[in-house]
Structure 1
């Protein structure tokens, strides 16, 4: 991060040397929610470094739209590049257009019906193992569904053991990078147990993906998955008569890491939050169950069911408003620029928070309330266009937004058709765990209740073993 003498208001409560680091580490979500009251542009200090937090939705949109001036960078992305590489989600502006152009066909809406088959199959496979009356680790279960789906759509031909090894390493990397991004780079040399675990996971993950790439190149078969498409992708802006450049092994590996993390972590955590919120709002859960009972024909949602799953989709949208997986974003200014009538020097670290925007009372009525109906056609027009940033906006809007919404909606509907999840005693209050790149719940355990006539395992049939295991 760049030290600079900003002419902006500074957030209160900075300590000598540490600045706002302790406040940020103690409760980052609360700290971010407090900043709009200070100003639209607020300086915070993390140790010896300064960063500029953008709190106004219209200014946040301006930053996201101008990705040439406000390029990917800053303490968050600089650290995340360590294990995600230079993939679509982390690459700078100079690489982004080419990468997106080559990768876009893999996320064409025409491919969603095929992906949806894997989504429903994996949702059914995981939930078939649930037993009525058992307590499950909800996040572990939803992450398993998402992970298996992502693995099947990225490299369906890879051995299951390699996919499982990669998944475990991804969890270790994602947990470690947030802690590392708040520490000075020289601390990387300290061989703590966490640092050693991180390094081992990083090395192993790179080796695993390299092996899968080599296997795919060797067999030369188009498996119809994302890996096959990445290996076959060509830059369509090549000179007339020339063959377009293809992605190198390193570029393919970086894209795979980006997709694995973005899909698995984002969708798994969003589904876990949705089930938690439904457990706290039984009337909304009843409406969800009524919808899936009417729409689904065999207890498993299909791609063709999506237009009629309006309540389900609104629940997913509202869940990701309250708990946007990408809760914190950083950018770096590439040139001297202006924002909100103020001059910002080149090299400034800029912080954006969809979570902060989503919880503003001037943008949302009763913003802390779980209200899926705010996304109904008759009410959604009242929400400003700058107010919902779960998937970003502009040229760098999430390339997999339709994929993510399709999976989350289909999986939630499939779960709701057969199961109702209720909070165990004393566990209705679940805290967010923002010490990761994606915002997830901390210690979310719920009891499975089979819905009458929907095929759930009866309590007397349940085996004594615990239903939940982190199969990822």
Structure 2
């Protein structure tokens, strides 16, 4: 008879608080130390036991079998407060229907159109900066990616006032998601300043997206809507059995919140890490800028440039490996099951970490080293570089916008370096305020200098 072993515990748990102090103090180092205790390791975050998946193949199993290991646990409970039942947060039973509705908007044939929008919005912002200007690139990159998302979702650029308010509210949400996930429910309801800010930001985000959706409907009714926007496709979608709208107004808002949050943070963070890591590795920076100058010569990158921006893509991909935006995610078992031989009863909260998997030395030798050549298509593998394991998920719930994000990231990274010499204020870079939802850098001050180009 096969023996049944319990999931091993990570050492160092304290009474009452468990591993929470260590997790809060240095979460990335804490995660990197878990695989030595087993492929599955149980930790306790105060009152909550969590089984962390430390093995890449078992992580893949969790992602592929999403009906057994469904999106759930305290993290997704908090995400649903703002994102509702959007594509990224809805349970598996609902996901297939939503995915079918949204998939046409992410068909390969649509990417040249999206790339044109990206080029236009990048050029409008980056081309308007002044020589010698000092700015916070973390803020500016996020503004650009948010503008691109809103242009593709709603077919319009964003009012500057609303732009600023949405950015501030999402900052509050990103900083508070994980903290609220770890707090017991009664403590989340205590009207502390942090809790009040979080609740108000949640309401404002949904109200802002509801207003944008309603305004789009009015424009569409007057014949002014962008027929190729994502929202127009979702509004036009019909239930095949009743010919009624496939999505309610609330569901449209859910999708808008999901697209804005996912499309803004993921790309902007990876671009900023790419710029920072290149700036701190002179050989990489020289090779990257040489490619950008040769391909673009001072203009904004476009769809037709992508095949020649190979090293730029490698830098972007390596930045995603080293600092994946979604660094700690949860699932919940929907039935009694086994994983890697270990029994997991129904209702078990699991966590997997793209950061942990992307720093396993068996997958990525010397994982703390920034090395874009890991993704060289002409290297040992001889195939097109693939995004690091788990960064965009897997299985039926693999991120629908993964290729969109990669195209946007390469175009933005290349365009920034094409238009400007970017001098990083290294002492100004602030580390992520972990444990927040994303692993994106905080403040990132830079000074811009115009390129001096030879004229004939």
TM surpasses 0.5: yes
Q: Write the distance in 2 (CA, Å) between the matches of 1:251 and 1:117.
A: 28
Quote the offset at 1:260 in angstroms.
0.4
Q: Write the distance in 1 (CA, Å) between the matches of 2:130 and 2:158.
A: 28
Matches within 5 A, 1:44-63: 44-63=43-62
Matches within 5 A, 1:138-157: 138-157=137-156
Q: Write the distance in 1 (CA, Å) between the matches of 2:400 and 2:181.
A: 25
Which SS does the other structure have where 2:257 is aligned? helix
**245-254 or 383-392: bigger deviation:** 383-392
Q: Which runs of 5+ in 1 are unaligned?
A: 1-5, 456-472
1:390 corresponds in structure 2 to 391
**Native 8 Å contact 1:374 1:380 kept in 2:** no
Please list the CA deviations of residues 428-467 of structure 1 after superposition, one character each: whole Å capped at 9, or x if unmatched: x753433321111133223323322299xxxxxxxxxxxx
Please list the CA deviations of residues 401-453 of structure 1 after superposition, one character each: whole Å capped at 9, or x if unmatched: 010000000011111112232332645x7534333211111332233233222
**Native 8 Å contact 2:235 2:245 kept in 1:** no
Count of aligned positions: 446
**Native 8 Å contact 1:299 1:417 kept in 2:** yes
**59-68 or 290-299: bigger deviation:** 290-299
User: Over aligned residue pairs, what C-alpha RMSD do you find?
Assistant: 2.3
Q: Write the distance in 1 (CA, Å) between the matches of 2:153 and 2:454.
A: 32
Structure-2 change in CA distance of 1:254 and 1:266 (3 Å): same
**Native 8 Å contact 1:158 1:212 kept in 2:** no
**Native 8 Å contact 1:103 1:233 kept in 2:** no
**218-227 or 245-254: bigger deviation:** 218-227
Q: Write the distance in 2 (CA, Å) between the matches of 1:439 and 1:96.
A: 26
2:210 corresponds in structure 1 to 210
Structure-2 change in CA distance of 1:387 and 1:147 (3 Å): closer
**Native 8 Å contact 1:131 1:448 kept in 2:** yes
Q: Write the distance in 2 (CA, Å) between the matches of 1:49 and 1:321.
A: 29
Do residues 230 (structure 1) and 234 (structure 2) align? yes
**382-391 or 146-155: bigger deviation:** 382-391
Quote the offset at 1:163 in angstroms.
4.5
Q: Write the distance in 1 (CA, Å) between the matches of 2:454 and 2:141.
A: 20
Quote the offset at 1:134 in angstroms.
3.9
Quote the offset at 1:298 in angstroms.
5.4
2:343 corresponds in structure 1 to 343
Do residues 379 (structure 1) and 379 (structure 2) align? yes
Matches within 5 A, 1:24-35: 24-35=23-34
1:261 corresponds in structure 2 to 261
**287-296 or 309-318: bigger deviation:** 287-296
1:287 corresponds in structure 2 to 287
2:278 corresponds in structure 1 to 278
Structure-2 change in CA distance of 1:284 and 1:446 (3 Å): same
Q: Write the distance in 1 (CA, Å) between the matches of 2:426 and 2:61.
A: 46
1:449 corresponds in structure 2 to 449
Q: Which runs of 5+ in 2 are unaligned?
A: none
1:174 corresponds in structure 2 to 174
Q: Write the distance in 2 (CA, Å) between the matches of 1:95 and 1:73.
A: 13
Quote the offset at 1:247 in angstroms.
0.4
**Native 8 Å contact 2:147 2:157 kept in 1:** no
Quote the offset at 1:197 in angstroms.
1.7
